[in-house]
Structure 1
Amino acid sequence: MNRQIAWPCLLAAALGLAVPARATPEAGPAQTVLFVGNSFTFGALSPVRAYRPELVTDLNGEGIGGVPALVAMFAKDAGLPWRISLETAPGEDLQFHYDKRRARLAGRWDVVILQGYSTLSKAHPGDPSEHVAAAVRLAAMVKRENPAARIDLVTTWSRADQTYRPGGHWYGKPITAMAGDIAAANALAIRTDAEIEGAIPVGQAWNRAMDEGVADPNPYDGVAFGQLNLWTTDQYHASAYGYYLEALVIFGTVSGRDPRTLGAAEQAGFELGFSPDIVATIERVAAEELLASGRIPAKVIKADRAAP
């Protein structure tokens, strides 16, 4: 693919938060869900990495729970009999999984969630070409095994270290810009391959949390009182709060349910040491972004909130 893409046009579309997606189906009676990704999926540098590994199947045998285990707990609480597996490798892109781990991904999956490299390309940060090509290859592989499989791409978050530190590819730009570029890359992948269902707006949910004052947008100048730090100590990976928001957005997208129906006393949040107020706030941000991004219809949000 030519790297001279009309990138400003794609970015403008992504910043409108209108990433194309098909209608989200209600979960079936026995969905198998596969997560493919890297440290942003397995919850590096946070207690999420070791969270409840018994709830998921780690195809690498490393005993990781991660974000997939949080989603598994949400599904359990919601009465959804999902069987969740993960295949992750730190610091790797989607092409790595296609080249090196393809045999482990073999199988008939109902839902496959793909999370790529945080800067899209290691050698050319911000360039979507490699990411899009690898996503298309993986989608084709999954569809050969199960033509009815649903495939989603995770739009990851802006990295503070890439934004506020000289030398970062997004240095000097708004903190929301990097997530916008990832969203635009995923939008391009969806337009390129009709087999890809849509994008999961995790990065947009982070942006929303910062825009609304729920989360501090710049950890380098201190975290404001009453606000959450979505990053961990390296200002790159997520904190437990950031991964929890990621998991809620993924759960809402795949289930088609309002994350707020899990309630302020949700089990995983309690086990991570979050207060009910914080759980409720993060659930609200996730629900609002899912609605704004079109991943959950307004009628679902209204129905779920009206339910006793």
Structure 2
Amino acid sequence: MPILVRFAALLLVCFAWTVPAAAKTVLFIGNSFTFGANSPVMRYRPDRVSDLNREGIGGVPALFKTFAIQSGLDWQVSLETSPGKDLAWHLANRRALIDRRWDVVVLQGFSTLDAERPGDPVRHLAAARAIAALVHARNPAAQVSLVATWSRADQTYRPSGHWFGLPIARMAEDLLAANRLGLAPGYGIHSVLPVGTAWNRAIRDGYADPNPYDGVAFGQVNLWTWDQYHASAEGYYLEALVEFGAITGRDPRSLGSRERAAEDLGINPEVARRLRDVAAAELAAQRVGGAP
């Protein structure tokens, strides 16, 4: 082989070694439970993410991005959210924004699965299946995950709630079971992210108060915000930790004692540590995690 040809080949090899890998892309689709309604999370670091609706929202995706930066991971994070909407609405009204090439897509549906028929997963799963097909048409290797959200205190402790009279953990357990139906062959769903059962674990372990209507016990945190429906900063922080660990395969505890998002949000460092422990324990219990 001529010397110049061999030299050129060597340069190409060296170049391949030095060019950084392309950033992975993740799209979060959801509603107020994703954009962090009624908490400072909603406007947290919008500069770090791409809000496809151009509403200046940071939300849980911005927490994910902050965790990624601290972990030395290169993720391009986007979100497409709208309050009070289910996945079928996003498919019908935001298809042009969603229909792009993504590595990972995270789907968060209506908090009761169906606004008119609480607990019924049919509409939710049909929309998730259709969005997954749309995503896989662009990238067959894309990983699509469903978020199983938390028990709403108002749905559990108020007579008008669908889960009234049942233990506070029940709604989250039902949501997890319903979303897991999407793991059946043909749905195109890679995993279910156990956010709600992480909340259950925080309550069971004595870190979080189970009933905000009777006051919050000293030494415990309220995972709900003032409406007993959406999350507090701590509740969204736990959501983001679970999603980060599930999507990247990183142990949330690896973020360390001076985790920046918790500091930015004014979360008690001991509370933040406990929530990282809870997220890690729930991911391990549910056997969820693994870098795409």
Correspondent of 1:224 among 185, 204, 217 = 217
Give the TM-score normalised by structure 1: 0.86
Counterpart residue identity of residue 123, structure 2: E
Aligned to 1:86: 79
Confirm whether residue 263 of structure 1 aligns to residue 256 of structure 2. Answer: yes
How is 1:1-308 mapped onto 2 (pairs within 5 angstroms)?
29-191=22-184, 193-296=186-289
Q: SS where residue 86 of structure 1 aligns? A: strand
- The alpha-carbon deviation at position 193 of structure 1 amounts to 3.1
1:20-79: CA deviation from partner (whole Å, max 9, x where unpaired): xxxxxxxx7521000000000000000000000000000000000000000000001001
Contact 2:87 2:110 in 1 (8 A): yes
- The alpha-carbon deviation at position 275 of structure 1 amounts to 2.5
Aligned to 1:14: none
CA distance in 2, matches of 1:240, 1:194: 33
Counterpart residue identity of residue 251, structure 1: F
- The alpha-carbon deviation at position 239 of structure 1 amounts to 0.2
Gaps in structure 1 of 5+ consecutive residues:
1-27, 301-308
Contact 2:248 2:289 in 1 (8 A): no
CA distance in 2, matches of 1:279, 1:29: 31
Q: SS where residue 28 of structure 2 aligns? A: strand
CA distance in 1, matches of 2:227, 2:185: 34
Q: SS where residue 44 of structure 1 aligns? A: coil
Gaps in structure 2 of 5+ consecutive residues:
1-20
Root-mean-square deviation (CA, aligned residues, Å) is: 1.2
CA distance in 2, matches of 1:222, 1:134: 38
Structure 1 residue runs of 4+, over 3 Å off?
none
- The alpha-carbon deviation at position 163 of structure 1 amounts to 0.2
Contact 2:27 2:106 in 1 (8 A): yes
- The alpha-carbon deviation at position 276 of structure 1 amounts to 2.0
Cα distance change, pair 263–152 in 1 and its aligned pair in 2 (3 A): same
Mean CA deviation greater in 189-198 or 121-130: 189-198
Rg (Cα) greater in structure:
2
- The alpha-carbon deviation at position 278 of structure 1 amounts to 1.5
- The alpha-carbon deviation at position 194 of structure 1 amounts to 4.8
Contact 1:29 1:80 in 2 (8 A): no
Contact 2:148 2:176 in 1 (8 A): yes
CA distance in 2, matches of 1:211, 1:238: 18
Give the TM-score normalised by structure 2: 0.91
CA distance in 2, matches of 1:130, 1:268: 35
Aligned to 1:13: none
Q: SS where residue 66 of structure 2 aligns? A: helix
Counting aligned pairs with the same residue, the percent is 60
